[in-house]
């Protein structure tokens, strides 16, 4: 037994049992988030939907996440990441790496979802509200009192709702005026072939969900990658060689960094996957037993909480033999297919992360620009310690990061 938010939970101890739990939703399991998630996300959020409601909502949102749609966001991501890298290099000394990556990741998701440029003040205020909101999400005291984290979070959610509803109204008006779709929101507002589309409430609750799911996860992923690369100069040099070859090929073809470039980033992708293998980004997630059943020889009773501890599984599944060595090459040696069934940084089953292609694209673009144009250092990289506080791992030292433009 383990626990989730202080509730006892049957914990899956191998990747195969975890996969069984995640892929049996609707039969053996169902989603089981705490009741206060309804209030903070909004009842229409995808993570809270079940059964046919979940399937239909996911189908309506999927067109915003296809490889083609995500490839179309690469120039925007590249512009944002490029401007952050240049401003960090202009500091002439270390920046707070984790906080700076968080602001960048938030700018990326805000602009990709809403499809419009946001003023820096606006983005900073939204991130401030989200930080308060997140603190209320993972509280064990979900009481709506103004001095408790949860009370502050409900007020932050109301403010985010005002902002989000205004963005939806503007996007609907832009679509009616025949303006070309600029972001995920425009795609979400479009009707499918049968004339089905998202209501304003569905849009609002899912924008909140996407902004949340898309920035803390990416911040931790990018922080982990930089930390691992700082400690593994051989991998950093190999990544740089790949990026220089790709930049030369793009120049020869008269193109810039675009959606097509992502496909050639084989080693870069191996670096990202290896960083997520060594330290899972999402620590774990809960489910509820929908009926009595046997799980690995253990009797689970209907209504019991089940915990899929991704971090534990990544570290302890015997198939990696406790191998903590950062070695991206393992993903190029046939390990990828063998590993994918039980290394699950993006989850598994019908709730497999819908944003995974966007997360990979963002990390690839960031690493491409960094390796092509800059050198970097993480202060005291060998001794960075990570907290395991929900929702994501955070470097305790804040990851002091120095970025220097290459001459």
Nearer to ligand HEM (CB atom), residue 215 or residue 330? 215
Give the CA angle between residues 361, 113, 197 to the nearest 5°: 115
| DSSP letter for each residue of 52-89 | HHHHHHHHHHGGGGSHHHHHHTHHHHHHHHHHHHHHHH
CB of 253 to ligand HEM, least distance (A): 29
CB of 22 to ligand HEM, least distance (A): 6
Instruction: Show the DSSP H helices in 177-258 as ranges.
Output: 184-189, 200-231, 233-252
In contact, 363 and 221? CB cutoff 8 Å = yes
- Examine residue 209 and tell whether it contacts ligand HEM (CB under 6 A): yes
Closest CA to 178 of 165, 190, 192: 190
- Examine residue 307 and tell whether it contacts ligand HEM (CB under 6 A): no
CB of 210 to ligand HEM, least distance (A): 4
CB of 109 to ligand HEM, least distance (A): 6
Nearer to ligand HEM (CB atom), residue 133 or residue 346? 346
- Examine residue 213 and tell whether it contacts ligand HEM (CB under 6 A): yes
Distance (Å, whole) CA 173 – CA 167: 10
Binding mask 368-407 for ligand HEM (x = CB under 6 A): ----------------------------------------
Distance (Å, whole) CA 183 – CA 169: 14
- Examine residue 111 and tell whether it contacts ligand HEM (CB under 6 A): no
Please compute Rg for the chain using Cα positions.
21
Binding site for heme, residues? 353
Nearer to ligand HEM (CB atom), residue 142 or residue 284? 284
Nearer to ligand HEM (CB atom), residue 84 or residue 346? 346
CB of 244 to ligand HEM, least distance (A): 25
Closest CA to 197 of 59, 52, 54: 59
Among 42, 136, 214, 283, binds ligand HEM (CB under 6 A): 214
- Examine residue 217 and tell whether it contacts ligand HEM (CB under 6 A): yes
CB of 249 to ligand HEM, least distance (A): 27
- Give the containing element (helix H, strand E) for 294: strand 293-295
- Give the containing element (helix H, strand E) for 298: strand 298-300
Distance (Å, whole) CA 98 – CA 24: 36
The CA-atom distances, in angstroms, between 393 and each of 49, 133, 216, 229, 307 are: 26, 18, 9, 17, 18
Closest CA to 313 of 338, 347, 290, 337: 347
The CA-atom distances, in angstroms, between 347 and each of 28, 326, 341, 354 are: 17, 21, 10, 10
The residue sitting closest to ligand HEM, measured at its beta carbon, is: 355
User: Which residue is it, tokens 């189908």?
Assistant: 59
Chain Cα centroid distance, residue 58: 17
Binding mask 314-333 for ligand HEM (x = CB under 6 A): --------------------
Among 114, 156, 207, 210, binds ligand HEM (CB under 6 A): 210
CB of 35 to ligand HEM, least distance (A): 16
Chain residues 267-286 in contact with ligand HEM, contact rule CB under 6 A: 281-282, 285
Distance (Å, whole) CA 287 – CA 126: 30
- Examine residue 227 and tell whether it contacts ligand HEM (CB under 6 A): no
CB of 61 to ligand HEM, least distance (A): 8
CB of 254 to ligand HEM, least distance (A): 30
Nearer to ligand HEM (CB atom), residue 31 or residue 247? 31
Binding mask 338-367 for ligand HEM (x = CB under 6 A): -------xxx---x-xxx--xx--------
- Examine residue 137 and tell whether it contacts ligand HEM (CB under 6 A): no
Chain residues 28-87 in contact with ligand HEM, contact rule CB under 6 A: 46-47, 58
Distance (Å, whole) CA 288 – CA 367: 38
- Examine residue 226 and tell whether it contacts ligand HEM (CB under 6 A): no
- Examine residue 106 and tell whether it contacts ligand HEM (CB under 6 A): no
Binding site for ligand HEM (CB under 6 A): 46-47, 58, 109, 209-210, 213-214, 217-218, 221, 281-282, 285, 345-347, 351, 353-355, 358-359
């Amino acid at each position: 037994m383990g626990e989730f938010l202080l509730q006892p939970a049957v914990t899956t101890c191998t990747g195969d049992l975890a996969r069984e739990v995640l892929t049996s939703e609707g039969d053996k399991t169902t989603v089981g988030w705490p009741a206060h998630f309804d209030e903070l996300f909004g009842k229409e959020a995808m993570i809270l939907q079940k059964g046919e409601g979940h399937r239909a909502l996911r189908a309506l949102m999927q067109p915003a996440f296809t490889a083609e749609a995500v490839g179309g966001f690469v120039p925007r991501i590249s512009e944002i990441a490029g401007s952050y890298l240049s401003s960090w290099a202009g500091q002439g000394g270390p920046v707070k790496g984790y906080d700076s990556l968080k602001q960048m990741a938030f700018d990326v998701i805000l602009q990709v979802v809403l499809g419009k440029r946001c003023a820096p003040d606006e983005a900073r205020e939204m991130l401030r509200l989200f930080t308060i909101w997140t603190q209320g999400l993972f509280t064990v005291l979900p009481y709506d009192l103004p001095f408790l984290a949860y009370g502050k979070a409900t007020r932050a959610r109301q403010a985010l709702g005002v902002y989000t509803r205004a963005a939806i109204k503007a996007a609907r008006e832009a679509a009616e005026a025949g303006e070309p779709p600029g972001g995920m929101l425009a795609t979400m507002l479009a009707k499918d072939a049968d004339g089905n589309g998202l209501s304003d409430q569905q849009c609002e609750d899912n924008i909140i969900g996407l902004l949340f799911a898309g920035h803390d996860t990416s911040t931790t992923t990018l922080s982990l990658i930089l930390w691992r690369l700082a400690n593994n100069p051989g991998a950093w040099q190999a990544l740089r060689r790949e990026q220089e070859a790709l930049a030369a090929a793009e120049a020869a073809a008269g193109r810039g960094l675009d959606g097509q470039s992502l496909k050639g980033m084989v080693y870069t992708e191996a670096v990202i996957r290896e960083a997520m293998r060594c330290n899972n980004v999402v620590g774990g997630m809960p489910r509820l037993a929908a009926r009595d059943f046997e799980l690995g020889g253990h009797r689970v009773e209907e209504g019991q909480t089940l915990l899929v501890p991704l971090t534990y599984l990544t570290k302890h599944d015997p198939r990696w033999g406790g191998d903590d060595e950062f070695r991206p090459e393992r993903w190029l040696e046939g390990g990828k297919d063998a590993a994918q069934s039980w290394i699950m940084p993006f989850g598994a089953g019908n709730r497999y992360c819908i944003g995974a292609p966007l997360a990979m694209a963002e990390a690839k673009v960031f690493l491409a620009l960094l390796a092509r144009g800059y050198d970097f250092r993480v202060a005291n990289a060998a001794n960075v310690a990570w907290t395991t506080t929900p929702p994501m791992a955070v470097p305790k030292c804040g990851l002091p990061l120095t970025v220097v433009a290459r001459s």
